[in-house]
Chains A and B, each alone.
Chain A
């Protein structure tokens, strides 16, 4: 039996070997592009976080994105923290560590933003906090963002980046999808504009709710956008799926995304779309 319990595939052994080597390199010196898998020195990467090899926008924290995205920002709900509803062991400790590194409470940054003379409510999901997963606090912050926008008759721009539901919060994570959808519905009924920007990765329950609800849906080049994970699809289908099945460009060709936008162009495009794409009065 021992033979079968051993890590046997080449990839499994490689990962193990890599880990040992990695530990000798000072942390944060190197990063790997999740798209082209090229190993890059951190110094090579510009403020936008684009991979110099393939041009894909790498996964960056909400704060880093905020730096070049808007002219002014007033943050909402900085005091919300999860009460660990399922009493999941080691969860809060893990989350707090990531929150500290990202300078953020939970996996989304929300607030009132300004680009030039355009004012809107802005949410940026942070893939560095438990992979941007949709916990109760993430859900609450996004819901409040819409409720505030409805009250003040403002457009909402939401940057999505998420592995999907927050496993550690179980069914209550799932309920966030509906809670947010209801807030979006109300906002939409008031005739207000909702714009989403899908960034890498936008998957699972986030794709299956607010990511796909935008009046206008933008996406960054090569961002992974999908519902089910590649591994799950391949196990279900018993076959390999095309490498680019969940690339934003493919999803656009199927009719679910309006436009691909590069990070350096986002600020100007958002300002323009909010001016032209919202209520005509």
Chain B
């Protein structure tokens, strides 16, 4: 097994810290808010309000669920169009009240189902990139497991993208990539290596800002995440909205 594939396995592990754990530990006063106001409430996306160092923030996270039933309801953490629209609604609300947005991502990608197609999965992601990505408040994304393709980018289009040690961010799953490029999905390990999906490689390509060390102890990991988020928020808070947007635009313009 290649080193990259080992990280893929760890990113997908059942022992991985969850979005709910991160929220509970970092934002003990979190109040969940539901719905996209367009007819759906995707359980694969959790969103709501909380405070961080006595300042209000909007928190959004993907959720894979725990029990088998929960996992099925959440499409194993793959958001539907309604999930992206819910995240955009909450993000716009955050911008209205000048709240920073903290997003936690662990998703294999946007849900590829018939209903998702009919409800405009492509259009929903596109609106996130266009609108969420241009909101004039600090947006920090932490990828803590898998960051799969456009479905992850729709929640990682802000000022900072940080990753836990054992997480990945890629254009497609290594299995999908191997199936397309080598016509053999069993060559996933080889694909994972060439795709540059590990935090280390992504930092080299300047796709992410920072790697957050991960511990087997979930509380410890959450504490580290909290420290890093606070530090990054402090840097971003020093910028005017115009400076923030100009820097964010430059962040993506370089690619």
List chain A positions with a Cβ less than 8 A from chain B: 85-86, 88, 136, 139, 143, 165, 167-168, 170-179, 181-182, 184-185, 204-205, 207-213, 226-229, 232-233, 236-237, 241-242, 245-246, 254-256
Contacts and interface: CB of A to CB of B under 8 A. Distances in A.
B194 A139 contact: no
B252 A178 contact: yes
Nearest to A242: B114
Interface string B239-252: 00000000011001
Contacts of A256: 120, 122-123
A229 B149 CA distance: 14
Contacts of A213: 126, 130
Interface in B146-199: 149-150, 153-154, 157, 169-172, 176-177, 180-181, 194-197
Given A136-B255, A205-B150, A171 B169 contact: yes
28 contacts: A85-B205, A143-B253, A165-B171, A165-B172, A167-B177, A168-B181, A170-B197, A171-B197, A172-B207, A173-B171, A174-B170, A178-B153, A178-B157, A181-B130, A184-B130, A185-B130, A207-B123, A207-B126, A208-B122, A210-B126, A212-B120, A212-B122, A212-B126, A213-B126, A227-B117, A228-B112, A228-B121, A233-B112
Interface string B125-137: 1110111011000
B77 to A, nearest CB: 13
Nearest to B245: A182
Given A178-B133, A211-B122, A233 B114 contact: yes
B150 A204 contact: yes
Most chain B CB neighbours (cut-off 10 Å) among A88, A167, A181: A181
B252 A175 contact: yes
Given A170-B195, A211-B126, 5 more contacts: A174-B149, A181-B126, A208-B154, A227-B110, A228-B117
A147 to B, nearest CB: 9
Contacts of A204: 150
Contacts of B176: 232
A172 B196 CA distance: 10
B126 A86 contact: no
A245 B172 CA distance: 23
Contacts of A207: 122-123, 126
Contact of A175 (B110, B116, B196, B207): B207
B150 A212 contact: no
A226 B255 contact: no
A233 B249 contact: no
